[in-house]
Amino acid sequence: MNNFFTRYQEELIQSIILLFIFFILWYILRFSIKKIGKKSNINDARVHLIIRYTSVTLLLIGVLIEAFILGAKPEDLTVVFSSVFAVLGIALFAIWSILSNVSSGIIMFFSFPYKVGDKIQIHDKDFPVEAIIEDIRAFHLHLRLDNGDLVTYPNNLMLQKAVTLVEKDAIEDDGADVV
């Protein structure tokens, strides 16, 4: 056992440093996203979703760096990643619309000018909508029409269509908190 620590001392120290840097970056990113969410008055569920996305991305980058620390050669990783990306490419092509909605949800987190409670009008020639935003999720928005119907509208279409703000915070205040 002592021989193991002596033999891999440099790799263990580098791994501990990587882990320390990983946690610092994770904490900074998490704090920054929460601050942006609070400043922009964004729903907590969306904030936690973006934190989850960034955490997974950071973890994958950390695993890649750890592989190099432990002695993996770039040509070895090339074979693994080319195989993984070939399979992922076929799978992602099959579910491109879902990925489009998720990436649109991430873009909307940082730059969407409308909030939950706003009444908007979507200028779509096939399906014009005037509704109140009830919830913004990873894949779609929940919109409440004037007649009370609930419509789910894909995030990627929200970024493709012209949208007009009809009324800011149109939800009636009945004394209850909107979640």
37 domain residue, yes or no: yes
70-95 confidence digits (pLDDT tens):
888 887 778 877 887 788 777 767 67
DSSP-derived letter for residue 121 is E
State whether 8 and 53 are in the same domain. yes
136 domain residue, yes or no: yes
The domain spanning residue 121 has which CATH number?
A: 2.30.30.520
Question: How sure is the predictor about 20, in pLDDT bands with cuts at 50, 70 and 90?
Answer: very high
Question: How sure is the predictor about 21, in pLDDT bands with cuts at 50, 70 and 90?
Answer: very high
For 128, counting Cβ atoms within 10 Å of its Cβ (0-12 exposed, 13-18 middle, 19+ buried), the class is exposed
Sign (positive/negative) of CA torsion 12, 17, 19, 20? positive
120 domain residue, yes or no: yes
97 domain residue, yes or no: no
| Domain C-terminal end among 58, 74, 90 | 74
Task: Write out the residue range of the structural domain in which residue 30 sits.
Answer: 2-74
Q: Structural domain tally of the chain?
A: 2
142 domain residue, yes or no: yes
pLDDT of residue 170: 65
177 domain residue, yes or no: no
| Domain C-terminal end among 52, 74, 96 | 74
